[in-house]
């Protein structure tokens, strides 16, 4: 059965592979490891639609890993603004510089794991897709397909060990990269989270989830925990057509990025609060582990060490989405 799964999937992928800007189609030339790695980092917990414009902008501005390695970190962080999960951008810089120093990407899963920010999934994906290594690649789409194929009843996250073990059994020795991308495409277009299109699935005949009558039941998810709601304040100071911006601490939420000054809110605690100026309104933003209600206050003088940034060029400051929201609110209230 396992051999037929890989053969059926690869046959389907050869016809139905998604056309993506970072992907070489089946039977095409060898992929560029830089483009594979960059796309995989960007796609972590981010949709394909959101990544496409960022990938185009990055590869136009920094077409090689050497160009990215030589870039100013602040420029890279600004270009990443809005894509979220900013630790990925910091690791991107560190990994690019390590690769440039080594003279190229490691071509093995183990070697890739040594680079900053490359965990098990990303290292396996780059090894398989860019270098043709046999590696077991399990992202959220693959996780869902495999859980349904074998009707894995154990709830997540505990089920991931069994999912990986089953994925190991069906990963072929050759074309592992195409196989991984085929599973990803199947999960994204056919074996979707809701209302899977089993009639179009090349693996439907041997799918235990389909036989059960309720394939959408898999993977079994644990009950959601309510996220804490944090409260914070951002300060808006304008003078002579410029707004006061600060650089956030290197670590933590939005580490190292330009932002509006704040009252010390974090993922773990509310801000200090206390009114310093005129309240302009509140914006809300969702993070992975908490939600935030951020009050924007207009204050007379600069808060903390920072710089004056021209309002006419605020879009070039690389503000994270939260602070871009706050800036739009403040500008609308002016």
Q: Which of 11, 40, 305, 316 is catalytic?
A: 40
Q: Is 209 left (phi over 0), alpha (psi -120 to 50) or beta?
A: alpha
Residue 332's contacts (CB-CB under 8 Å, 6 or more residues apart) are none
C-alpha triplet 320, 226, 87: angle, nearest 5°: 30
DSSP H or E run through 280: strand 278-286
Query: Residues of 212-225 as b/e, b for ≥16 C-beta within 10 angstroms?
Result: eeebeebbeeeeee
Residue 59's contacts (CB-CB under 8 Å, 6 or more residues apart) are 21, 35, 38
- The answer to whether residue 297 is catalytic is no
Distance CA 188, CA 200 (A): 13
Q: Which of 35, 119, 42, 43 is nearest to 76 (CA)?
A: 42
Q: By the 8 A CB rule, do 280 and 298 touch?
A: yes
Distance CA 151, CA 145 (A): 10
Catalytic center residues: 40
């Amino acid at each position: 059965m396992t051999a037929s799964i890989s053969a059926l999937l690869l046959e389907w992928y050869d016809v139905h592979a998604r056309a993506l800007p970072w992907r070489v189609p089946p039977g095409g030339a060898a992929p560029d490891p830089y483009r594979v790695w960059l796309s995989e980092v960007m796609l972590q917990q981010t949709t394909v639609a959101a990544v496409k414009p960022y990938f185009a902008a990055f590869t136009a501005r920094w077409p090689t890993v050497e160009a990215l390695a030589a870039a100013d970190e602040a420029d890279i962080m600004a270009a990443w603004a809005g894509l979220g999960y900013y630790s990925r951008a910091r690791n991107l810089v560190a990994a690019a510089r390590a690769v440039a120093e080594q003279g190229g990407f490691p071509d093995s899963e183990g070697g890739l794991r040594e680079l900053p920010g490359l965990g098990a999934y990303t290292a396996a994906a780059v090894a398989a897709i860019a270098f043709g290594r046999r590696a077991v690649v399990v992202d959220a789409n693959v996780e869902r397909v495999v859980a349904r194929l074998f009707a894995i009843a154990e709830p997540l996250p505990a089920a991931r060990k069994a999912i990986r073990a089953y994925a190991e059994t069906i990963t072929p020795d050759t074309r592992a990269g195409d196989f991984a991308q085929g599973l990803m495409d199947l999960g994204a277009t056919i074996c979707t989270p809701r209302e899977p299109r089993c009639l179009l699935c090349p693996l439907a005949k041997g799918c235990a989830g389909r036989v059960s009558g309720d394939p959408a039941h898999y993977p079994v998810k644990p009950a959601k925990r309510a996220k804490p709601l944090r409260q914070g304040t951002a300060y808006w100071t304008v003078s002579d057509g410029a707004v006061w911006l600060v650089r956030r601490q290197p670590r933590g939420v939005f580490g190292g990025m330009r932002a509006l000054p704040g009252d010390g809110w974090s993922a773990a605690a509310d801000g200090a609060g206390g009114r310093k100026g005129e309240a302009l309104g509140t914006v809300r933003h969702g993070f992975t582990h908490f939600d935030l209600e951020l009050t924007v206050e207009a204050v007379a003088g600069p808060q903390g060490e920072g710089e004056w940034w021209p309002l006419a060029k605020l879009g070039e400051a690389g503000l994270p989405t939260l602070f871009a929201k706050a800036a739009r609110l403040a500008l609308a209230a002016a």
